[in-house]
Amino acid sequence: MKHPRLAIDIVTLFPGIVRPALRESMLRVAQAKGLVDIKVCALRRFGQTRHKSCDDKPFGGGPGMVMMAGPLFKCVESIKKSRGEGHVVFLSPDGKRFDQSHAERLSKKRHLILICGRYEGIDERVREHLVDEELSIGDFVMTGGEIPALCVVDAVVRLVPGVLGNRASLECESFRGGLLDFPQYTRPRVFRGHKVPDVLFSGDHKKVLAWRKEKSFEKTRLRRPDLLKGQGSSLPAGRQVAK
Ligand SMILES: C[S@@+](CC[C@H](N)C(=O)[O-])C[C@H]1O[C@@H](n2cnc3c(N)ncnc32)[C@H](O)[C@@H]1O
């Protein structure tokens, strides 16, 4: 690929989990358009001994295995050698909670290298001396970092200019402007007796906008009041929230 806006390398012991997701839908199209170049790096290639081991028992005892520093360093160094410097992200339940602002920031980088952990995690020296940033996708523990990495890739790639056919859809989705998205409807107008709100057929663009903003606000207030803190003038008239 000549000059993608964003290059991504996913470092994993289980490429078979990641690859199928990259071949579908928006991620496939983004790569086909040449806007992003996503590669999956099979960590096992950098394993030690003839068994290509990438993990070992934890020093100090305890259950499970820990991913070794050697293969991870060698793998990331080889990626940087062939694709240039990159921002190294380790997916980890104890990382910073990934959100839309992280996705926006990462979508402006040129090259991301995502490390997927397994087992009890990775040798701490990798976190200290190789990783630039640690991200969690939520307060729960998954078996590995592959699905968290795909979450980050999906949320980031759709923000790369040119990836979404209609960029306007980014402007009015959840978290933009600190509000959740408004309700959406499509045909039929009446489904099993449930009607679409009349205002959406009024033809009055201003009224529709005002209704949507009001609904966004209501939903945010009920489901995510934390998002409203610190907001003021962007809320519907009479809906200002105390700081
Ligand atoms: C079983 S977990 C290790 C959990 C680790 N022992 C702990 O308690 O924090 C194995 C790997 O899955 C990934 N992982 C699990 N949950 C995650 C989450 N919520 N966000 C991001 N990555 C996660 C990380 O890469 C982690 O190293």
Q: In the chain, what are the domains?
A: 6-157 (3.40.1280.10), 172-228 (1.10.1270.20)
How would residue 237 be classed by pLDDT, with cut points 50, 70 and 90?
low
Q: For 85-100, write each residue's pLDDT tens digit.
A: 999 999 999 999 999 9
* Whether the CB of 78 sits within 6 Å of ligand 1: no
Mean pLDDT of 29-42: 98
The rounded distance, in Å, linking the Cα atoms of 237 and 1 is 49
How would residue 235 be classed by pLDDT, with cut points 50, 70 and 90?
low
Instruction: List the alpha helices (DSSP H) in 58-204.
Output: 69-83, 100-107, 124-129, 146-157, 168-171
pLDDT of residue 241 exceeding 50, the answer is no
Answer yes or no: are the C-beta atoms of 154 and 27 closer than 8 Å. Answer: yes
Q: For 163-177, write each residue's pLDDT tens digit.
A: 998 877 787 788 888
The rounded distance, in Å, linking the Cα atoms of 92 and 211 is 40
pLDDT of the residue at 173 = 85
Pairing outcome for strands 111-116 and 87-97: parallel
55 CA to middle of ligand 1, Å?
15
From residue 220, alpha-carbon distances to 95, 183, 196, 199 in Å are 26, 12, 21, 21
* Whether the CB of 117 sits within 6 Å of ligand 1: yes
* Whether the CB of 143 sits within 6 Å of ligand 1: yes
pLDDT of residue 134 exceeding 80, the answer is yes
User: What's 64's DSSP letter?
Assistant: S
The rounded distance, in Å, linking the Cα atoms of 227 and 178 is 6
Strands (DSSP E) found in 13-160: 36-42, 55-56, 66-67, 87-97, 111-116, 133-136
The rounded distance, in Å, linking the Cα atoms of 196 and 201 is 9
| Global pTM value | 0.94
54 CA to middle of ligand 1, Å?
17
The rounded distance, in Å, linking the Cα atoms of 74 and 3 is 25
Instruction: List the alpha helices (DSSP H) in 41-144.
Output: 69-83, 100-107, 124-129
18 CA to middle of ligand 1, Å?
16
How would residue 233 be classed by pLDDT, with cut points 50, 70 and 90?
very low
27 CA to middle of ligand 1, Å?
24
Mean pLDDT of 21-26: 98
How would residue 1 be classed by pLDDT, with cut points 50, 70 and 90?
confident
CA-nearest of 95, 93, 90 to 132 is 90
* Whether the CB of 240 sits within 6 Å of ligand 1: no
- Three-state SS at 26: helix
* Whether the CB of 140 sits within 6 Å of ligand 1: yes
163 CA to middle of ligand 1, Å?
29
How would residue 204 be classed by pLDDT, with cut points 50, 70 and 90?
very high
The rounded distance, in Å, linking the Cα atoms of 224 and 218 is 10
* Whether the CB of 58 sits within 6 Å of ligand 1: no
